[in-house]
Amino acid sequence: MRPGKLCGVAVVVALAATACGGSGTGSDTGTDKGAREPGFPVKVADCKGVTTTFRSAPRKIVTSNAAALETLLRLGAGDRVIGTGFPPHEGALPGALGAQARKVPVLAKSVIPKEKLLGSGADLYIDTFASMNTMGRAGDAPTEEEFTAAGIKHLYLASTACAPMAEKPQRDLSGVEGDIKRLGAVTGTSRRADALVAGMRAKTDKVHRAVGGLAPGKRPTYFFFDYDAGTKQPVAVCRKQVANAVIGQAGARNVFDGCDGDFKPVSWEDVVAKDPDWIQLGVRNRGDAAANAKAFDEAAAFLKRFPATKGLAAVRNGKFLRIGSERTTIAGVGNADTVEEIARTLHPDRFKAAR
């Protein structure tokens, strides 16, 4: 089946909500058969257009990683999460969210093994990345038929999982907002989802008023340096990655906006040819502030001593942004915070003028 378009926000017609991001066989199998709750049934279509119907909210959810878990916690559905893979590091989530996350059983520190996932008792599995199916455990991901046999419905975060096959690049955060609204519809927490999206838009609207009028040629160029992906060969974020939308919304130009897909290995010669004005030191959360600071220092030190990059204008001038990878490249409410942080760093005078 040919991949379809990446959908936007959920559309509700009568009692059916149709959106993009889930995966299934189109059947009504599962613990929700015959049930009826306000706002249901909800129909969710995957990246290829195959739909799954939810006749009631799932009661036992497993998440593939910390991104989906965080969104469920923010939606108020965290008490239904019975397990996760790739758990959030200590300190990654603030206050009460962090305390809730620590109560969620960790089924694996990376990709959840197939047998453990299928035997988890879950009625819904949320995948942040389609590529998670093979990351580190090639061939170990359940098939859709196995998910169905186990009574588990399978839903993807579309802005990350469907992005590589989408027809259009990501220029704004509508894809992320759509993911939040879809999860809200499926879990029966649509009001909370709407509030989260409204909070994101308040931040991005403020940024847009300050920098939205900048012509492309007036926008500083920007390179997201994924330090944890390795330094031997850099990995670029391309036009269909969430980070491309984050960078563009912040009033900058992603130097690799021209590459298709979401991520692409490039060469240091490619980076040098772009000579970015600013470089984000993309570091994944290490678990505490000191460890994160050390990793950011290491990333900056590498660029300063590496022969190919030490002469770049951004490196010479210390134009570095120390912003974590997760809230830049993975869907979540933190994307709006990153937009604002980048914009205020690159365009401080415009925000002063907007006061």
Structural domain includes residue 194: no
Q: Please report, to the nearest 10 degrees, the dihedral formed by the alpha carbons of residues 207, 171, 88, 320 taken in order.
A: -60
End-of-domain residue from the set 170, 188, 206: 188
Q: Looking at residue 132, what is its pLDDT?
A: 43
Which pLDDT score, from 0 to 100, does residue 75 have? Answer: 97
Q: What is the pTM of this model?
A: 0.87
Q: pLDDT tens digits, residue range 157-200?
A: 999 999 888 889 999 999 999 999 999 999 999 999 999 999 99
Please tell me whether residues 177 and 223 are part of one structural domain. no
Query: Helix 242-249 and helix 334-346: axis angle, to 10°?
Result: 40
Task: Tell me: do 251 and 331 sit in the same domain.
Answer: yes
Name the residue range of residue 16's domain: 11-188
pLDDT one-digit tens code per residue, 84-115: 999 998 878 888 999 999 999 999 999 999 99
How far, in whole angstroms, is CA 7 from its chain's centroid?
15
What domain count does the chain have? Answer: 2
* pLDDT band at 355; cut points 50, 70, 90: low
Mean pLDDT of the region 68-92 = 94
For residue range 228-286, what is the model confidence (pLDDT) as tens digits? 999 999 999 999 999 999 999 999 999 999 999 999 999 999 999 999 999 999 999 98
- The verdict on 102 and 249 lying in the same domain is no
Dihedrals phi, psi of 35, to nearest 5 degrees: -80, 160
> Under DSSP, is residue 298 helix (H, G, I), strand (E, B) or coil?
helix
pLDDT at position 89 = 85
Tell me: pLDDT of 18 over 60. no
Comparing CA positions, the residue from 8, 21, 15 lying closest to residue 51 is 21
